[in-house]
Protein backbone atom coordinates (compact mmCIF):
# COMPACT_ATOMS: atom_id res chain seq x y z
CA UNK A 1 0.00 0.00 0.00
CA UNK A 2 1.30 3.41 -0.93
CA UNK A 3 2.42 5.58 1.94
CA UNK A 4 0.22 8.55 2.77
CA UNK A 5 2.21 11.72 3.25
CA UNK A 6 1.00 14.86 4.96
CA UNK A 7 1.62 18.01 2.93
CA UNK A 8 0.11 21.33 3.95
CA UNK A 9 -2.98 19.92 5.60
CA UNK A 10 -3.64 17.08 3.18
CA UNK A 11 -2.81 13.40 3.32
CA UNK A 12 -1.80 12.40 -0.19
CA UNK A 13 -0.43 9.25 -1.79
CA UNK A 14 3.34 9.07 -1.81
CA UNK A 15 3.54 9.48 -5.60
CA UNK A 16 1.55 12.71 -5.37
CA UNK A 17 3.54 14.06 -2.45
CA UNK A 18 5.48 16.69 -4.35
CA UNK A 19 7.03 20.07 -3.74
CA UNK A 20 8.06 22.79 -6.17
CA UNK A 21 11.54 22.98 -7.71
CA UNK A 22 11.39 26.58 -6.46
CA UNK A 23 11.08 25.39 -2.87
CA UNK A 24 13.82 26.97 -0.80
CA UNK A 25 14.56 23.73 0.98
CA UNK A 26 15.64 22.27 -2.36
CA UNK A 27 17.41 25.42 -3.57
CA UNK A 28 19.23 26.30 -0.34
CA UNK A 29 18.50 23.71 2.34
CA UNK A 30 16.32 26.47 3.79
CA UNK A 31 14.17 24.47 6.16
CA UNK A 32 14.16 22.66 9.47
CA UNK A 33 13.23 19.13 10.47
CA UNK A 34 12.74 16.59 13.21
CA UNK A 35 13.17 12.84 13.44
CA UNK A 36 10.69 11.40 15.95
CA UNK A 37 9.68 7.93 17.12
CA UNK A 38 6.30 6.57 18.09
CA UNK A 39 6.09 3.47 20.25
CA UNK A 40 2.81 1.58 20.74
CA UNK A 41 0.80 4.37 19.14
CA UNK A 42 2.29 7.12 21.29
CA UNK A 43 4.76 9.75 20.11
CA UNK A 44 7.83 9.57 22.33
CA UNK A 45 8.83 12.92 23.89
CA UNK A 46 6.33 14.72 21.68
CA UNK A 47 6.64 18.02 23.54
CA UNK A 48 10.45 18.06 23.37
CA UNK A 49 10.51 17.35 19.63
CA UNK A 50 7.75 19.83 18.81
CA UNK A 51 9.42 22.51 20.94
CA UNK A 52 12.77 21.91 19.23
CA UNK A 53 11.13 22.10 15.80
CA UNK A 54 9.38 25.36 16.61
CA UNK A 55 12.57 26.82 18.13
CA UNK A 56 14.56 25.88 15.02
CA UNK A 57 11.87 27.53 12.85
CA UNK A 58 11.69 30.63 15.08
CA UNK A 59 15.42 31.26 14.79
CA UNK A 60 15.11 30.96 11.00
CA UNK A 61 12.08 33.31 10.91
CA UNK A 62 9.90 30.55 9.53
CA UNK A 63 6.37 30.86 10.80
CA UNK A 64 4.89 27.35 11.06
CA UNK A 65 1.22 27.77 10.04
CA UNK A 66 -0.06 25.40 12.75
CA UNK A 67 -0.23 25.61 16.51
CA UNK A 68 1.89 23.05 18.35
CA UNK A 69 -1.29 21.14 19.22
CA UNK A 70 -2.40 21.10 15.58
CA UNK A 71 1.06 19.96 14.60
CA UNK A 72 0.98 17.06 17.04
CA UNK A 73 -2.48 16.11 15.79
CA UNK A 74 -1.19 16.14 12.20
CA UNK A 75 1.54 13.68 13.22
CA UNK A 76 -1.03 11.35 14.77
CA UNK A 77 -3.28 11.70 11.69
CA UNK A 78 -0.36 10.75 9.45
CA UNK A 79 0.38 7.70 11.58
CA UNK A 80 -3.29 6.68 11.53
CA UNK A 81 -3.52 7.10 7.74
CA UNK A 82 -0.68 4.59 7.45
CA UNK A 83 -1.93 2.22 10.16
CA UNK A 84 1.24 2.70 12.16
CA UNK A 85 1.65 2.11 15.88
CA UNK A 86 5.44 2.07 15.86
CA UNK A 87 6.85 4.64 13.50
CA UNK A 88 9.71 6.85 12.51
CA UNK A 89 8.25 10.27 11.84
CA UNK A 90 10.08 12.83 9.73
CA UNK A 91 8.66 16.33 10.02
CA UNK A 92 9.99 18.94 7.62
CA UNK A 93 9.19 22.62 7.48
CA UNK A 94 10.44 24.31 4.33
CA UNK A 95 10.46 28.05 3.90
CA UNK A 96 8.37 27.33 0.83
CA UNK A 97 8.29 28.44 -2.74
CA UNK A 98 10.01 31.66 -3.73
CA UNK A 99 12.07 32.92 -6.65
CA UNK A 100 15.69 32.00 -7.27
CA UNK A 101 17.14 34.71 -5.06
CA UNK A 102 18.06 34.65 -1.38
CA UNK A 103 15.40 37.11 -0.24
CA UNK A 104 13.35 35.10 2.23
CA UNK A 105 10.51 37.65 2.13
CA UNK A 106 9.58 36.34 -1.32
CA UNK A 107 8.41 33.07 0.22
CA UNK A 108 4.94 33.81 1.52
CA UNK A 109 4.02 30.32 2.71
CA UNK A 110 6.09 27.69 4.50
CA UNK A 111 5.30 24.07 3.69
CA UNK A 112 4.67 21.44 6.33
CA UNK A 113 5.54 17.87 5.39
CA UNK A 114 5.08 14.86 7.67
CA UNK A 115 6.22 11.39 6.69
CA UNK A 116 5.43 8.47 8.98
CA UNK A 117 7.10 5.22 8.04
CA UNK A 118 8.02 1.93 9.60
CA UNK A 119 11.25 2.39 11.46
CA UNK A 120 14.27 0.69 9.99
CA UNK A 121 15.97 -0.59 13.09
CA UNK A 122 19.68 -1.08 13.37
CA UNK A 123 20.47 -4.80 13.46
CA UNK A 124 20.22 -6.21 17.01
CA UNK A 125 23.80 -7.46 16.71
CA UNK A 126 25.06 -3.85 16.98
CA UNK A 127 23.40 -3.58 20.39
CA UNK A 128 24.91 -6.84 21.58
CA UNK A 129 28.38 -6.57 20.07
CA UNK A 130 28.74 -2.80 19.99
CA UNK A 131 29.88 -0.45 17.24
CA UNK A 132 33.30 0.49 16.00
CA UNK A 133 33.55 4.17 15.12
CA UNK A 134 36.19 6.51 13.74
CA UNK A 135 36.91 10.21 14.15
CA UNK A 136 36.02 12.11 11.00
CA UNK A 137 38.29 14.80 9.59
CA UNK A 138 35.10 16.73 8.76
CA UNK A 139 34.54 18.98 11.77
CA UNK A 140 31.41 20.17 13.45
CA UNK A 141 30.86 23.75 12.35
CA UNK A 142 31.55 26.55 14.87
CA UNK A 143 28.40 27.55 16.67
CA UNK A 144 29.04 31.23 16.01
CA UNK A 145 28.96 30.43 12.29
CA UNK A 146 26.02 28.05 12.28
CA UNK A 147 24.15 27.21 15.46
CA UNK A 148 24.08 23.39 15.79
CA UNK A 149 20.96 23.55 17.96
CA UNK A 150 19.04 24.49 14.81
CA UNK A 151 18.04 21.19 13.25
CA UNK A 152 18.25 22.55 9.73
CA UNK A 153 18.00 20.76 6.41
CA UNK A 154 21.71 21.47 5.79
CA UNK A 155 23.21 18.09 6.68
CA UNK A 156 26.01 18.03 4.14
CA UNK A 157 28.83 18.17 6.69
CA UNK A 158 27.26 15.27 8.58
CA UNK A 159 26.92 13.35 5.32
CA UNK A 160 30.59 14.04 4.48
CA UNK A 161 31.54 12.74 7.94
CA UNK A 162 29.26 9.71 7.44
CA UNK A 163 31.11 8.97 4.17
CA UNK A 164 34.33 8.86 6.16
CA UNK A 165 32.70 6.40 8.57
CA UNK A 166 31.43 4.17 5.77
CA UNK A 167 34.74 4.25 3.92
CA UNK A 168 36.38 3.11 7.16
CA UNK A 169 33.92 0.21 7.45
CA UNK A 170 31.87 1.85 10.23
CA UNK A 171 28.35 3.25 10.42
CA UNK A 172 29.06 6.27 12.63
CA UNK A 173 31.85 8.81 12.98
CA UNK A 174 32.81 11.14 15.80
CA UNK A 175 32.96 14.82 14.84
CA UNK A 176 35.24 17.23 16.69
CA UNK A 177 34.65 20.96 17.06
CA UNK A 178 37.06 23.70 15.92
CA UNK A 179 38.87 23.45 19.28
CA UNK A 180 39.50 19.77 18.69
CA UNK A 181 37.07 18.73 21.39
CA UNK A 182 34.59 15.93 20.88
CA UNK A 183 31.24 17.31 19.73
CA UNK A 184 28.89 14.56 18.55
CA UNK A 185 28.43 11.94 15.85
CA UNK A 186 26.78 12.46 12.45
CA UNK A 187 23.31 11.59 13.74
CA UNK A 188 23.89 10.72 17.39
CA UNK A 189 25.20 12.22 20.62
CA UNK A 190 28.12 10.58 22.39
CA UNK A 191 28.70 9.56 26.02
CA UNK A 192 31.55 7.92 27.91
CA UNK A 193 31.80 6.28 31.31
CA UNK A 194 35.04 6.74 33.27
CA UNK A 195 35.52 5.44 36.81
CA UNK A 196 31.77 5.07 37.19
CA UNK A 197 31.02 8.64 36.02
CA UNK A 198 28.89 9.25 32.92
CA UNK A 199 30.19 12.13 30.79
CA UNK A 200 28.94 13.81 27.62
CA UNK A 201 30.00 17.01 25.82
CA UNK A 202 28.17 20.16 26.97
CA UNK A 203 25.98 22.32 24.70
CA UNK A 204 28.94 24.73 24.30
CA UNK A 205 30.88 21.99 22.50
CA UNK A 206 28.58 22.74 19.54
CA UNK A 207 26.08 19.91 19.49
CA UNK A 208 22.49 19.21 18.70
CA UNK A 209 20.76 18.91 22.06
CA UNK A 210 19.46 15.44 21.39
CA UNK A 211 16.15 14.42 22.88
CA UNK A 212 17.54 10.93 23.56
CA UNK A 213 20.59 12.54 25.22
CA UNK A 214 18.23 14.38 27.55
CA UNK A 215 16.32 11.19 28.37
CA UNK A 216 19.54 9.29 29.12
CA UNK A 217 20.84 12.08 31.39
CA UNK A 218 17.50 11.95 33.21
CA UNK A 219 17.58 8.14 33.52
CA UNK A 220 21.11 8.34 34.93
CA UNK A 221 20.06 10.98 37.47
CA UNK A 222 17.06 8.90 38.51
CA UNK A 223 19.40 5.95 39.06
CA UNK A 224 21.34 8.09 41.55
CA UNK A 225 24.30 8.73 39.24
CA UNK A 226 25.63 12.21 38.72
CA UNK A 227 26.18 12.51 34.94
CA UNK A 228 28.46 15.36 33.84
CA UNK A 229 28.22 17.60 30.81
CA UNK A 230 31.89 18.33 30.33
CA UNK A 231 34.35 18.95 27.46
CA UNK A 232 35.91 15.72 26.18
CA UNK A 233 38.90 15.09 23.96
CA UNK A 234 39.84 12.04 21.90
CA UNK A 235 42.17 11.12 24.79
CA UNK A 236 39.11 10.86 27.04
CA UNK A 237 37.36 8.65 24.48
CA UNK A 238 40.30 6.31 24.02
CA UNK A 239 40.84 5.95 27.78
CA UNK A 240 37.14 5.56 28.65
CA UNK A 241 35.83 2.44 30.38
CA UNK A 242 32.65 2.55 28.28
CA UNK A 243 31.25 4.54 25.40
CA UNK A 244 27.79 4.71 23.86
CA UNK A 245 25.77 6.80 21.40
CA UNK A 246 22.23 8.12 21.73
CA UNK A 247 19.74 9.13 19.05
CA UNK A 248 16.14 8.76 18.00
CA UNK A 249 16.96 6.04 15.47
CA UNK A 250 19.75 4.31 17.42
CA UNK A 251 18.25 4.79 20.92
CA UNK A 252 21.24 3.75 23.09
CA UNK A 253 23.98 1.84 21.29
CA UNK A 254 27.32 0.66 22.74
CA UNK A 255 30.66 1.63 21.16
CA UNK A 256 33.52 -0.82 21.63
CA UNK A 257 36.29 0.62 19.47
CA UNK A 258 37.27 4.16 18.46
CA UNK A 259 39.97 4.78 15.83
CA UNK A 260 41.31 1.28 16.40
CA UNK A 261 41.51 1.64 20.20
CA UNK A 262 39.36 -0.88 22.07
CA UNK A 263 37.18 0.82 24.67
CA UNK A 264 37.48 -0.77 28.10
CA UNK A 265 37.70 -4.50 27.56
CA UNK A 266 36.32 -4.17 24.03
CA UNK A 267 32.81 -5.27 25.01
CA UNK A 268 29.66 -3.23 25.78
CA UNK A 269 30.00 -2.02 29.37
CA UNK A 270 27.60 -2.68 32.27
CA UNK A 271 26.41 0.93 32.72
CA UNK A 272 25.76 1.19 28.96
CA UNK A 273 23.79 -2.06 28.94
CA UNK A 274 21.83 -0.96 31.96
CA UNK A 275 20.90 2.38 30.36
CA UNK A 276 19.97 0.59 27.14
CA UNK A 277 17.64 -1.69 29.06
CA UNK A 278 16.12 1.19 31.00
CA UNK A 279 15.59 3.14 27.77
CA UNK A 280 13.86 0.16 26.18
CA UNK A 281 11.69 -0.33 29.22
CA UNK A 282 10.69 3.33 29.14
CA UNK A 283 9.82 3.34 25.44
CA UNK A 284 8.15 -0.09 25.33
CA UNK A 285 6.18 0.46 28.55
Q: Which residues are catalytic?
A: 151
Give the shortest CB-66-to-ligand PXG separation in angstroms: 21
Residue 269 zone, left/alpha/beta (φ > 0; ψ -120 to 50; rest): beta
**Closer residue to ligand PXG (CB): 15 or 120:** 120
Rounded Cα–Cα distance for residues 252 and 212 (Å): 8
Kind and range of the H or E element at 243? strand 242-247
Give the shortest CB-25-to-ligand PXG separation in angstroms: 14
> Which residue of the chain is nearest ligand PXG when measured via CB?
210
DSSP 86: S
**Closer residue to ligand PXG (CB): 86 or 106:** 86
Asked if residue 14 lies in contact with residue 2, where contact means CB atoms within 8 angstroms, the answer is: yes
DSSP assignment string, 186-242: SSSEEEEEETTEEEE--GGGT----HHHHHHHHHHHHTT---EE----HHHHHT-SE
**Closer residue to ligand PXG (CB): 98 or 143:** 143
Give the shortest CB-211-to-ligand PXG separation in angstroms: 4
**Closer residue to ligand PXG (CB): 27 or 253:** 253
Give the shortest CB-106-to-ligand PXG separation in angstroms: 28
DSSP 31: E
Per-residue CA distances from 167 to 156, 189, 211, 251 (Å)? 16, 21, 28, 24
The binding site for ligand PXG (CB under 6 A) comprises 35, 158, 184, 187-189, 208, 210-213, 246-249
Amino acid sequence: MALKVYIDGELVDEENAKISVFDRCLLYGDGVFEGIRAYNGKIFKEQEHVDRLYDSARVCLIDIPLTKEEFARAMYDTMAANNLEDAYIRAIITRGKGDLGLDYRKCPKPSVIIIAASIELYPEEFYQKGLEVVTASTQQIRSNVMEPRIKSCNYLKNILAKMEAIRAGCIEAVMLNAKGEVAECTGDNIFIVKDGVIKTPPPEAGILLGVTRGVVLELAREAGMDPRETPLTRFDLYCADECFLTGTAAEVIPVINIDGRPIGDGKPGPITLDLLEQFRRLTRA
